[in-house]
Structure 1
Amino acid sequence: MRAAHLGKSARALAIAGAVLFAGGAFSGPVEAAEGSHVKIGVLTCAAGPKIGLLITSAEKIECTFEPSGAEAEQYYGRIRNFGLDIGVTAGSVIVWGVLAAQDDYAAGSLAGEYVGVSAEQTVVLGLGANVLVGGSDDSLILQPLSVQAQAGLNLAVGVSRMVIEQR
């Protein structure tokens, strides 16, 4: 079971890495993803204060998904970063475009695990970018629309894992 999970995570990381580097870490929308996927909505997540402990950090998040042409959905979860992560931040907000292979989104199906590569730098007010892949059969891509804004002092580069559940 664990080997299958590692295979899924490795595949998702490879997809996220390719998408991130095809578009540049901080260059805005990733055109490569848009060619094979359709935008099905926008996910906005807010995280509280964070303390980076060199190798790992974790943040609780509260999210709102606004699917195209449907009612908003509420999610909650956690983002864990693995890799270099040093410092303290006062909180952050990130907005992702949600891309899917097809436009047949079913309510609640955004819940699940997402993985990807991440980079952020904060000195008082800072920026970060995370392209995450996951959901059912790794079929969803979360692409940064509004680069993460946060206050504090932090440097982080590594792998992000986000798990969200519907309220």
Structure 2
Amino acid sequence: MRATIAAAVLAVSTVLAAAVPASAQPLPPVQLPPPPTGPLVQSGMLVCKVAPSIGFVIGSMREAACEFRDNAAQPYVVLSRYKGTISRFGIDLGVLAADTLAWAVFAPTARPNPSDIAGSYIGVSADAAWTIGAGANVLLGGSSNQIALQTVSVEGMVGADVAAGIADLTLVLLPN
């Protein structure tokens, strides 16, 4: 997983370096959380239905309705629900339709407390679309920075968009 995160950081850095003019002011450094310590196990899936978005050159924000599900394919069990906000800082130009994002959730235990998954995540993100497209992101965080979210498969998108940068996901636990 650390190799995946390093590769994603390198890819986003390369895209951003090529896209930013030399005369542009550098962005302040972003403090990424330290990677989780100890072994992590896949404890379920986080699936978010995300609202449409319009990129504003230096970022975007999208609302999301998320479910933390067990690892079963069908029928799956919803373990907890969250209200989410996904923000991206960096290059983000275009318009995207509503879509669904899915991450494998890696935690120190197979059954994390729903409140452990709530919190803020930060990581790298990149995508491109012209009618249809794809993207990927890797995020670290949660209530105690011990949860890792890894894109399950390349996310599918509909719209016209190019984006690369730092992604931030905030999850608020909803009552049952």
TM-score, length-normalised on structure 2?
0.73
Over aligned residues, Cα RMSD in angstroms? 2.5
- 1:91 corresponding residue in structure 2: 98
Aligned residues: 144
Separation in structure 2 between the aligned mates of residue 41 and residue 19 of structure 1, nearest angstrom:
19
User: 1:20 and 2:23 equivalent?
Assistant: no
User: 1:54 and 2:57 equivalent?
Assistant: yes
**Fraction of identical pairs, as percent:** 35
Tell whether the 8 Å contact from 1:82 to 1:160 is kept in structure 2 after alignment: yes
- 1:64 corresponding residue in structure 2: 67
Tell whether the 8 Å contact from 1:17 to 1:116 is kept in structure 2 after alignment: no
Separation in structure 1 between the aligned mates of residue 99 and residue 62 of structure 2, nearest angstrom:
10
Alpha-carbon spacing, 1:114–1:38, altered in 2? closer, same or farther (3 Å): same
Separation in structure 2 between the aligned mates of residue 17 and residue 56 of structure 1, nearest angstrom:
26
Deviations 1:112-144 (A, max 9, x none): 000000000011011110100001331000011
Which has more helix, going by share of residues? 1
Separation in structure 1 between the aligned mates of residue 127 and residue 78 of structure 2, nearest angstrom:
32
- 2:157 corresponding residue in structure 1: 150
Alpha-carbon spacing, 1:18–1:64, altered in 2? closer, same or farther (3 Å): same
Runs of 5+ in structure 1 lacking a partner?
Answer: 1-15, 26-32
Alpha-carbon spacing, 1:48–1:143, altered in 2? closer, same or farther (3 Å): same
Runs of 5+ in structure 2 lacking a partner?
Answer: 12-35
- 2:133 corresponding residue in structure 1: 126
Which has more strand, going by share of residues? 1
Separation in structure 2 between the aligned mates of residue 109 and residue 137 of structure 1, nearest angstrom:
7
Amino acid at match of 2:130: V
User: 1:40 and 2:46 equivalent?
Assistant: no
Runs of 4+ in structure 1 over 4 Å off: 22-25, 68-71
- 1:6 corresponding residue in structure 2: none
Separation in structure 2 between the aligned mates of residue 36 and residue 108 of structure 1, nearest angstrom:
20
User: 1:138 and 2:145 equivalent?
Assistant: yes
CA-CA distance at 1:100 after TM superposition: 1.1
Separation in structure 1 between the aligned mates of residue 5 and residue 133 of structure 2, nearest angstrom:
19
Alpha-carbon spacing, 1:17–1:117, altered in 2? closer, same or farther (3 Å): farther
TM-score, length-normalised on structure 1?
0.77
Amino acid at match of 1:54: V
Separation in structure 2 between the aligned mates of residue 90 and residue 78 of structure 1, nearest angstrom:
16
Separation in structure 2 between the aligned mates of residue 52 and residue 107 of structure 1, nearest angstrom:
31
Separation in structure 2 between the aligned mates of residue 126 and residue 17 of structure 1, nearest angstrom:
25
3-state DSSP class of the match of 2:81?
strand
